[in-house]
């Protein structure tokens, strides 16, 4: 139902006229649809899903495995050999592997080492790493890194979502500023038309010199030119804003002429972005996505460092299997077993030591980045808080200037009606008022963008 209503809101019907009653698109509602439907936000969520899939893949290294090898040779009605080796392996966390097997071999030319009882041979054993792979191995490292990658993806998703919301906010503020600018020029164009018509009548009656109509005409055409320029900027701002408007199933929306921005967004901006909670001194950065991302990268590199350090140990794998015939599986004979030891150790370890040193350098580099990021974030937050406080004072000052200039223009109009002023003076007063009101729109836009910038710095979507 919401989707249908929004379609009606933005797309409209062909039967509607251009004079449709305006519908206000609030900033809060606009951000809600950006967060829910914008493709880049959905793409950020996919990164988290990919990290979760990667964790599932890493855990697959600990899945039990069934292996069956069968080989048979038959020639001139003779069975040279028939070899069946089957096993069931269970990998465990600390590199220990539990294995159960069944072998059944026969044939007249069977290799003596493959000779087993006629009923076959069962085995139950364990393989234990005593050097490399005991405290950490590649399978353990992959699972740990996959879990850390989920936290990293969550932080990166938040950062990307915040960036999208910040860009969307700037587009909304630009649209609002240009919309207000068009309204401003429409108002003064209407005043210029009324003034031009009034002066023309006074000239016809002989109460004003003809040159006043030229002065009033210049004002009128300047207002028309300014209005057209502002309309062009508004049209571009609408198209830019439409880049952030989407519906379900990736349906893009185009802003219609009857949609207008929220009038009192400057009064609600802090509540919408919750920047009123961010104006405190020294806000906590422990849950900041950038800090969390760098900490996650450090954790990833720490796992990699431990894995590289483990490669400095000798590789010693000890294996033991208890052997038994299927018919005697309940009668334990400890003297029937198979044991093996594998040993591997490079003499100089240059490859392993070099890899470990590189991993330490990478870890130290991220530590430097983390320390720098903490300081930069604190300074950025403080600077942005100072800017917002300054812009709040500027808003109060510019509002008083607008009111004073309106008073001056109103007085000049009254003097003009008494014949004690001129079109030039009225034009001068009005130009001053327009300039101050444009400055007011600029300060309001800076204030809105400054709050959005603080929201982006804190990165808390």
188 and 270 housed in the same domain: yes
Range of the domain at 20: 2-37+168-288+361-458
Q: Which CATH number does the domain housing residue 22 bear?
A: 1.20.1600.10
HEC-encoded secondary structure of 19-67: CCCCEEECHHHHHHHHHHHCHHHHHHHHHHHHHHHHHHHHHHHHCCEEE
193 and 251 housed in the same domain: yes
240 and 383 housed in the same domain: yes
264 and 177 housed in the same domain: yes
pLDDT for the residue numbered 446? 95
Looking at the 3D structure of the chain, how many domains does it have? 2
266 and 376 housed in the same domain: yes
274 and 368 housed in the same domain: yes
177 and 281 housed in the same domain: yes
- Both tokens of 373, joined, read 């990021």
Helices and strands in the chain, H and E counts: 9, 10
pTM here is 0.81
65 and 172 housed in the same domain: no
261 and 365 housed in the same domain: yes
Residues 7 and 246: their CA atoms lie apart, in Å, by: 10
- 148 domain residue, yes or no: no
208 and 266 housed in the same domain: yes
More confident of the two residues 357 and 119: 357
What DSSP string describes 97-166?
A: EEEEEEEEEE-TT--GGG---TT-EEEEEEEEESBTBSS--HHHHHHHHHHHHHHHHHHHHHHHHHHHHH
pLDDT for the residue numbered 7? 40
pLDDT for the residue numbered 330? 61
Q: Report percent pLDDT > 70 for the chain.
A: 92
Residues 410 and 403: their CA atoms lie apart, in Å, by: 11
- 53 domain residue, yes or no: no
- 422 domain residue, yes or no: yes
pLDDT for the residue numbered 332? 66
Q: Report percent pLDDT > 90 for the chain.
A: 39
Mean pLDDT of 1-10: 36
- 213 domain residue, yes or no: yes
Burial class, 97, CB count within 10 angstroms (exposed 0-12 / middle 13-18 / buried 19+): middle
- 303 domain residue, yes or no: no
- 308 domain residue, yes or no: no
5-19, 128-142, 330-344: which has the minimum mean pLDDT? 5-19
265 and 380 housed in the same domain: yes
Which tens digit of pLDDT belongs to each residue from 292-341? Answer: 999 999 999 999 999 999 989 999 999 999 888 887 556 666 778 889 99
30 and 105 housed in the same domain: no
Which tens digit of pLDDT belongs to each residue from 163-209? Answer: 999 999 999 999 999 999 999 999 989 888 888 787 778 777 776 67
- 324 near 132, Cβ under 8 Å? no
Which tens digit of pLDDT belongs to each residue from 351-380? Answer: 889 999 999 999 999 999 999 999 999 999
- 45 domain residue, yes or no: no
User: Mean of the per-residue pLDDT values for the chain?
Assistant: 85
- 414 domain residue, yes or no: yes
């Amino acid at each position: 139902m919401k989707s249908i209503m929004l379609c009606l809101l933005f797309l409209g019907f062909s039967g509607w006229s251009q004079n449709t009653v305006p519908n206000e698109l609030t900033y809060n509602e606009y951000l809600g649809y950006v967060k829910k439907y914008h493709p880049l936000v959905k793409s950020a969520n996919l990164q988290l899903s990919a990290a979760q899939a990667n964790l599932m893949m890493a855990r697959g290294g600990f899945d039990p495995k069934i292996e069956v090898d069968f080989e048979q040779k038959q020639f001139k009605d003779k069975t040279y050999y028939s070899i069946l080796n089957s096993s069931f392996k269970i990998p465990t966390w600390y590199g220990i592997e539990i294995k159960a097997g069944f072998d059944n071999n026969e044939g007249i030319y069977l290799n003596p080492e493959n000779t087993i009882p006629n009923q076959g041979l069962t085995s139950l054993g364990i393989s234990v790493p005593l050097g490399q792979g005991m405290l950490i191995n590649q399978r353990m490292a992959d699972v740990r890194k996959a879990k850390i990658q989920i936290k990293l993806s969550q932080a990166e998703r938040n950062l990307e979502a915040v960036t999208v919301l910040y860009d969307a906010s700037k587009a909304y503020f630009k649209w609002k500023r240009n919309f207000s600018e068009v309204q401003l020029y429409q108002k003064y164009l209407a005043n210029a038309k009324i003034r031009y018509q009034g002066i023309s009548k006074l000239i016809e009656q002989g109460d004003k010199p003809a040159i006043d109509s030229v002065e009033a005409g210049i004002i009128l055409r300047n207002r028309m030119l300014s209005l057209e320029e502002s309309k062009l900027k508004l049209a571009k701002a609408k198209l830019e804003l439409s880049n952030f408007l989407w519906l379900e199933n990736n349906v893009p929306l185009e802003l219609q002429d009857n949609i207008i921005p929220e009038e009192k967004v400057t009064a609600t901006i802090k509540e919408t972005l919750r920047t009123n909670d961010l104006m405190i001194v020294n806000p906590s950065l422990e849950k900041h996505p950038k800090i969390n991302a760098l900490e996650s990268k450090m954790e990833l590199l720490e796992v990699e460092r431990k894995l590289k350090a483990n490669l400095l140990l000798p590789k010693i794998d000890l294996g033991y299997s208890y052997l038994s015939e299927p018919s005697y599986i309940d009668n334990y004979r400890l003297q029937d077993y198979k044991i093996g030891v594998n040993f591997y150790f490079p003499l100089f370890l240059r490859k392993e030591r070099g890899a470990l040193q590189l991993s330490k350098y990478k870890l130290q580099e991220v530590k430097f980045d983390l320390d720098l990021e903490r300081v930069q974030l604190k300074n950025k937050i403080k600077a942005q808080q100072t800017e917002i406080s300054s812009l709040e004072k500027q808003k109060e000052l510019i509002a008083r200037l607008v009111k004073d200039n309106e008073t001056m223009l109103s007085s000049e109009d009254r003097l003009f009606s008494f014949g004690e002023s001129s079109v030039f003076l009225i034009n001068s007063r009005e130009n001053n008022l327009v300039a101050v009101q444009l400055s007011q729109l600029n300060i309001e836009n800076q204030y809105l963008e400054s709050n959005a910038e603080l929201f982006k710095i804190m990165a808390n979507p």
